[in-house]
């Protein structure tokens, strides 16, 4: 087992810095965030969110904040 950093915590390769981050130990896969930010957050086949950071960077801050406070598991945060 290495002590290496998971890729999610690194800057995305696109050059855009991360806007939102998921605490994967908390996320229950409700998918609420994906419903609030369609096109920027998708869900995988198990219902867990896939974040498109460069797309998130184009969204108004208020929309991101709304998604963060809507997350029932307190799993979503500003990066």
Partner 1 sequence: MTSVLPRTAPITALPVGWIAEPQLLRGIGSADLVDYRAHRAQSVPARRLSQADLLARLDTAGLAGRGGAGFPLATKIRSVLHEGSRLTPFVVVNACEGEPASAKDTALLRFVPHQVLDGAMICADAIGAERILVAITDHEAQLAVSAAVASRPDAARFEVCPIEARFVAGEAGALVAALSVGSDGRRNTAQAVPPGRRVLPSHRGVDGRPNLLSNAETFGQVAVLVGSSPAPAAASQAATRAPSTTSPRTAARTSTGTRLLTVTGAVRSPGVLEVPDGVPLAQVAEAVGARPSQSVVIGGYHGTWLPAAMLSELTLSAAGLAGVGASPGAGAVIFVGTDTCALAELSRVVGWLAAESARQCGPCSFGLPAIAQGVASLLRATPAGPTATGQLVLSRAGTVTGRGACAHPDGAARFVRSGLAVLAEDVGLHAAYGTCRRRDQGHLALSRSAALSRSLALSEAALSEAALSAAALSAAALSRAGGGGMGMGAHR
Q: Is 31 in the site for ligand SF4 (CB under 6 A)?
A: yes
- Choose the contact partner of 44 out of partner 1, ligand SF4, none; CB within 5 to 8 A by kind: partner 1
Q: Enter the DSSP assignment of 11.
A: P
Distances (CA, A) of 30 to 17, 26, 77, 79: 25, 11, 15, 20
Q: Is 64 in the site for ligand SF4 (CB under 6 A)?
A: no
Q: What is the phi-psi region of residue 43: left when phi exceeds 0, alpha when psi lies from -120 to 50, beta otherwise?
A: beta
Binding segment for partner 1 (CB under 8 A), chosen from 18-26, 32-40, 52-60, 63-71, is 18-26
Shortest distance in whole angstroms from residue 67 CB to ligand SF4: 7
């Amino acid at each position: 087992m290495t002590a290496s950093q998971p890729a999610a915590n690194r800057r995305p390769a696109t050059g855009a810095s991360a806007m939102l981050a998921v605490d994967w130990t908390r996320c229950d896969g409700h998918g609420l965030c994906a419903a609030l930010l369609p096109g920027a957050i998708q869900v995988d086949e198990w219902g867990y969110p896939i974040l498109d950071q460069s797309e998130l960077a184009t969204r108004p801050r208020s929309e991101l904040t709304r998604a963060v406070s809507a997350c029932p598991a307190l799993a979503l945060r500003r990066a």
